[in-house]
Structure 1
Amino acid sequence: MASTVLVAYGSTYGSTAELARTVGDVLRKEGLLVEVRSAGLVRDLTPYGAVVLGGALYAGRWQRDARHFARRHRRALVRLPLWLFSSGPLDSSAAERDVPPPSVRRLARRLEARGHMTFGGRLDERAGGWVARKIVESGKGGDFRDFAVVTTWAEGVARDLLPRTALKD
């Protein structure tokens, strides 16, 4: 694949952006051309041959920029190889199983995504907003991201995108 892979993300506090940068780094290491951008800043998908789109989860919904990106580019996304990821569970549930919320599951089906993965999230004292502060104050915040899992998943995306090479005898 000679064209560029877009890794776009919707992130409010930066945790999902860090996950997206990790995915981009892994794809580059595997030999792909990659651009990592905030979903809110992407206006045109013409330069890209594949897309990885991630969104932070808030109350079971993707962050606004990720949702708007998917809606704005839906016609192009169904024609491109597409993978989705969500970040946000503030516990170990993401490590136990990938169960996207119903809204993300519907989106994946509509956009004919090749796959979805849920990664643990991060919420700490840097987070703004009343609800986020209350979660942290209650002791339910923390960093539940597992970058080894992110790396393994991104390597799988790269394997799907890279041309198959003939096995040598």
Structure 2
Amino acid sequence: MTGTVLVTYGTRNGSTAHIAESIADTLREKGLTVETMEAASVPFVTRYDAVVIGGALYAGRWHKDARTFVRRHRNDLAERPVWFFSSGPLDTSASGQDIPPVRGVRHAMDELHARGHATFGGCLDTDADGWLARRILHSGKGGDFRDFEAVEAWAAGIAGELEH
């Protein structure tokens, strides 16, 4: 593939953005041209040959910007290879097993014939915004559970598919 891949994401506190950047870096290392952008900032997808869409999980739902992005660009996304990722479990469960996409993401994947999905651990640091985040942190359940080796391996698989 000689075109450009878009890696886009919805995030509240930046953890999902870091995962998206790691995916983009791996794709670049594999020789692909990649742009990363927050989902709310993407005006169109027609200039991209493939799209990776990520969203932070909050209470079992994908970040609003990621959901809106998929709805807004549904027709154009259906015409190109698409992958989805989620971030959010605040424990090591995402490293130890394959966590299926939440219902809304599964529906979008089916509709767009997405090529794959991965759920990665999330990160909730002490500087996180929001009432719920502060409550989770107060309960002692924050921390960084992102596994960047798993992120890079997943992105390398995408690069392999795009090379063929």
TM-score > 0.5 by shorter chain:
yes
Map 1:85-96 → 2, pairs under 5 A: 85-95=85-95, 96=97
Give the structure with higher Rg (CA): 1
Cα distance in 2 for residues equivalent to 1:128 and 1:33: 33
Following superposition, the deviation at residue 2 of structure 1 comes to 1.3
4+ residue segments displaced more than 3 Å: none
Contact 2:98 2:118 in 1 (8 A): no
Give the TM-score of the pair, scaled to structure 2.
Answer: 0.97
Cα distance in 2 for residues equivalent to 1:147 and 1:27: 14
The answer for the alignment partner of 1:61 in structure 2 is 61
Q: Gaps spanning 5+ residues in structure 2: where?
A: none
The answer for the alignment partner of 1:4 in structure 2 is 4
Map 1:26-41 → 2, pairs under 5 A: 26-41=26-41
Following superposition, the deviation at residue 106 of structure 1 comes to 1.2
| 2:122 is aligned with 1:121 | yes
Map 1:1-169 → 2, pairs under 5 A: 1-95=1-95, 96-163=97-164
Contact 2:10 2:64 in 1 (8 A): yes
Q: Secondary structure at the match of 2:2?
A: coil
Cα distance in 2 for residues equivalent to 1:115 and 1:98: 12
% identity of equivalent residues: 56
Q: Gaps spanning 5+ residues in structure 1: where?
A: 164-169
Following superposition, the deviation at residue 159 of structure 1 comes to 0.1
Cα distance in 2 for residues equivalent to 1:8 and 1:82: 11
For residue 29 of structure 1, what is the amino acid of its counterpart?
E
